[in-house]
Amino acid sequence: MFRPRGASPPDTGFIKKGTTSAGVQRQYSGTAGRTENCQIGVFAAYASGRGRALVDRELYIPKSWAEDRERRRAAKIPDDQAFATKGELARRMVLRTLVSPLPITWVTAGSAYGQESRFRRLLEQSGVGYVLAVPKSQFTVGCPRIEGLFAQAPAEAWEEISCGDGAKGPGLYHWAAVRLPAVAEFDYQGEVPHRMRWALARRSISRPDEIAYYLAYTPLEITVPELVRIAGSRWAIEECFQAAKNECGLDQYEVRRYVGWYRHITLAMLAHAFLAVTAHQAAEKGAKPVREQGPSRSQWRRFGDSWQLVVPGPRTCAYAEADTTR
């Protein structure tokens, strides 16, 4: 990630009608924006200047399923598959990603993961930088709520910065940054600053009451515009969901059993990664991107005979729940 490489974890929901699909129950679906009868998958996406793709996945098994042995066996959920929260699933994927050949410098994720101190501590202990969304009630050093750090910020503390191009053009917001105490290490000179912690706030220009908050863990030489670009790179995973659903059938399945879900999702992820690699190879050979008409033409480009969703920014690994609707 300098030129950044990274990962991000979110989750997505697969809406279902029955009660026998592994892990299905009434739960919140981000795709639907409400509580639905659905399965939830937690995913990791890898993003760099060369492209982005989904690289890991876990099916969330709710506690009601974990405690129902007959239902688990009918769905072929392994007996040793104990209940794990979405945060725990994300931490597993982080550890797998860090020991993989993928070069990871930054991790981004939504507030459901950023608010977990264990998730942040795992990244810090692994020496990986992060920019993680957190709720406004998040506790920070010296202030009970992160929103309190920015409540009295003067007008000049807010700077208009783009966090990357989206479907409607540059993602321009007002951003403010607060340096938190440095993380120190001991060497032969004694205690020396090693890393910085930050609190960030992103305010809508047209609706200033809409403010999002982030916590960051970074090298000492980081700049605020770089932090903003990394924060914006989290949307790579949403773009991966969109591409994998539209082009590779990520959410188009009828399987009900645990193993069947993993087989379908893994094949769809493989197809999506293949398209991303093919698009990059075509671009390296000089194929010019051809814009097509459509609602997302500012993001989707054709390279040779394949497609790529092009969003500039750092290489980041993003983790999230995937709420994808059939």
- pLDDT per residue as tens digits for the range 9-59: 578 888 888 899 999 999 988 777 789 999 999 999 998 888 889 999 999
The beta strand positions in the chain, using DSSP E, are 6-15, 25-29, 34-48, 51-59, 106-109, 129-134, 159-166, 169-187, 190-203, 211-219, 300-303, 306-309, 317-322
Mean pLDDT value of segment 97-122 = 92
With beta carbons less than 8 A apart as the criterion, state whether 231 and 163 touch.
Answer: yes
With beta carbons less than 8 A apart as the criterion, state whether 295 and 167 touch.
Answer: yes
To which H or E segment does residue 71 belong? helix 69-74
Mean pLDDT of the chain: 82
The pLDDT tens digits for 167-199 are: 455 689 999 999 887 776 655 555 556 788 999
With beta carbons less than 8 A apart as the criterion, state whether 25 and 13 touch.
Answer: no
- Between helix 236-248 and helix 258-284 the angle, nearest 10°, is 100
With beta carbons less than 8 A apart as the criterion, state whether 193 and 220 touch.
Answer: yes
In angstroms, the CA 151 to CA 36 distance is 36
- Give the number of other Cβ atoms within 10 Å of residue 210's Cβ: 11
pLDDT of residue 6: 61
Query: What does the block give as tokens for 283?
Result: 């671009």
pTM: 0.80
Report helix, strand or coil for 78: coil
The structural architecture, per CATH, of the domain 6-322 is Alpha-Beta Complex (3.90)
The DSSP symbol for 242 reads: H
Measure Cα distances from 286 to 165, 283, 289 in Å. 23, 5, 9
In angstroms, the CA 309 to CA 269 distance is 15
Residues sharing a CB contact under 8 Å with residue 326, sequence separation 6 or more, in sequence order: 14, 15, 16, 251, 252
Mean pLDDT value of segment 84-113 = 92
Residue at 202: amino acid letter: R
pLDDT of residue 318: 62
**pLDDT of 142 above 70:** no
pLDDT band of 7, cuts 50, 70, 90? low
In angstroms, the CA 288 to CA 282 distance is 9
